Structure formats: structure tokens, C-alpha cells
Amino acid sequence: MPDKTTGLYFALFNEIAIIEQLSRAMFEARLPKGLMVSHFSVLNHLVRVGDGATPLKLARAFQQPKTTMTHTLAGLERHGYVRMEPNPKDKRSKQVFITKEGRVFREDAIGLLAPDVARIAAIFPPAQAEALLPGLQALREEMDGLRD
Amino acid sequence: MPDKTTGLYFALFNEIAIIEQLSRAMFEARLPKGLMVSHFSVLNHLVRVGDGATPLKLARAFQQPKTTMTHTLAGLERHGYVRMEPNPKDKRSKQVFITKEGRVFREDAIGLLAPDVARIAAIFPPAQAEALLPGLQALREEMDGLRD
DNA sequence: ACTATATGGTACGATATCGAATTATATGCA
DNA sequence: TGCATATAATTCGATATCGTACCATATAGT
């Protein structure tokens, strides 16, 4: 493997890290204090995919350590945005449900973030975003698969 | 702006966040304890772009808060991988130089990370990475520009 | 059924990240 | 020149992230 190839992937991951950084900073500047993009993302996932999933399943969906998800869910629960129930299928486990307050917060947050999204869309049009997405999804899935 | 468009950008940033997460976890599993991708990235930058830059310039290059860069540089200095000197052009400021030890560590780290890069390259070929990169760079630059 | 191993979740400690405030120096402008 | 404001960097405090260890329960092999 030539150095040039290694450098290519370093450059790729570096761009990705910077964009992640920029988007997180931009969004968190809009969210109320104490709520992070991680909180919003979980609520968004619960609405889009449906709730009732276990914490571990959520951690896997975001490819995060389960301790991180425990922490994020604790924050959401403290705000009353999710409810944790014992999992009837497995006494070790729990199920996560989004509350009405959680749905309201998600809706509000989308409204708060919309202007930023619009600013991005103005300079990086949806067609370009759509062009990028499949490649990123493919990369994500492949890297996901490497984790065994 | 239709909801579909907002969702598109959320999906885009979500994929980017997950890939950032996966690549960071993969690389940090290889690096010696106490050294993060952030440390490696800074050393890599100093070698590729040249050293002597100020901490603030480095923070901007990575689009990070300057306090984060102060912390990262302190870690690198503690390991003897960079040397901080007063900036003769500006007494408030400093210049960051990579040491011989820092260069050696960077080389070693590249060697440690190479197998992972190779595994990624095997399933997500360089041609695809190259295809992705310009769009990501464009997105990065546009978002960068929004930061006024 | 019994035991070994695997799995879901949490507690805890270390530390990375980052905003706010602070200090020192630089710059602009009257 | 003198003063207001801006800028480079650090300190400090809060907390997000994450690895390790642990407990409870489940599953597999005998």
C-alpha cells in the first residue's frame, strides 16, 4: 500500500471529522443548554424508526459504546423526553419510549435548526447532498462490517 | 424548505458523525494509551503543511475551539512531540514546532494504522474515496465560510 | 439440571471537549 | 500619546465520551 493511498484515507477521514465538528457546533449553538446533538439524534431516531428499542440496540445504531448511550438516555430521561421500561422479553434489558414531551422537543428543535439547514442548503444544494449520501452510506456500512 | 430536504441534511450529517465515530474508535484502538487521533492529526498536519504555526492557526485548520487546541498541544508537549516557542512577531502568541521524537511517533503511528487503512481500502477502494473527497471538501469549505 | 460462558446494563474513574472568564499584548483612532 | 477595543493564549468549571469492572440474567453444552 503506497503512502499516497494512506494519505488519501487520512484526508477523507480528516474532512469527515471537520464536517462533523462544524455541524455539531452549529446545531448545539441552537439547542437549549444541556441538550446536545446526541440527545436530539436519539429522539429523532425514535420517531423515525419507532421506539421500544433497547439501549444496546440504540448504541449499535449510532455505533457508540453502550456506556455513552446509557449516559445520553439518562439525560433524556431526566428531561422527561424518554421513558425506560423493563423489557418483558429479557429481564436484563430495557425498552426506550419517547414521551409526548420528547416529541414536542424534537419538533421544536427541528424548527430551531431549520435556519441553519437552510443556510447550508443555499450554498450546498440538496442535489449535491444526495450525490454524496450513497457513497457515505456505503463507507459506513463497510466500516460497520469491519467491526465484527 | 420541505421537511424532506431537512431530513436529507440530517441524514447526511448523521452518516458523517457515524463514520467519524467509527474511524476514530478504530484508530485510537491502535494508538498508545494517552494519545488520541487529535494528537496524531496535529502532528500529521505539522509535517504535511510545515510547522511554526500558532496554536490559533492550528485550531482554525481543524475548526476546533482554541481551548481544545491548547489542551491537545499540552499533551503533545508533555510527550515531547512538539516544542512551543514565543512568537517573535507577536508577544501574545506562540509557535508550534514538531520535534524529532514527534516525527518518529508520527511515522510509527502511520505504521500502526496502516493495516486498518488497508482493510478499509480493500472494501472501499481508493477510487471511491477519491470520488467522495471533492464533494466533502466543498461541503467543508462552504460550512467553513458560514462561520463568519 | 448444572456449569461455563455470553450478554444487557450500570457504576466509576479518567480524560477530551468546550464555553466563559481572565491576562497580556496589539491595534485603531481621537 | 492615550484609550477603547480586539486578539492570542490560558485557566477554570462543567460535562460528554469512553474503557474497565461489575452485577444480573440468559444461553449453550454436557
First to last CA, chain A: 23
Structural contact between residues A101 and A80, judged by C-beta atoms closer than 8 angstroms: yes
Asked if A22 lies within 8 A of B143 by C-beta distance, the reply is: yes
**DSSP, res A32:** P
The partner residues of A94 in beta bridges, in order of sequence, read A86
**Distance, CA of B68 to CA of B74 (rounded, Å):** 10
Q: Count CA atoms within 13 Å of residue A146 on its CB side.
A: 22
DSSP character at residue B92: T
Select from A18, A144, A65, A69 the least CA-distant residue to B22: A144
pLDDT number for residue A148: 59
Domain total for chain A?
1
Whether the CB-CB separation of A3 and B120 falls below 8 Å is answered with no
pLDDT, tens digit, 9 for 90 and up, residues A87-105: 999 999 999 999 999 999 9
CB atoms within 10 A of CB B98: 22
Tens of pLDDT, residues A42-98:
999 999 999 999 999 999 999 999 999 999 999 999 999 999 999 999 999 999 999
- The CATH code of the domain that includes A28 is 1.10.10.10
pLDDT value for B83: 97
pLDDT range class, residue B147, cuts 50, 70, 90: low
Half-sphere exposure of A121 (CA within 13 A, CB side): 19
CB-based contact A15 B131, cutoff 8 Å: no
What pLDDT is attached to residue A31? 96
Q: Which range of residues forms the domain containing residue B137? A: 3-146
B:36-65 Cβ neighbours of strand D under 7 Å = 54-57
Which residue of chain B is at minimal alpha-carbon distance from A141?
B19
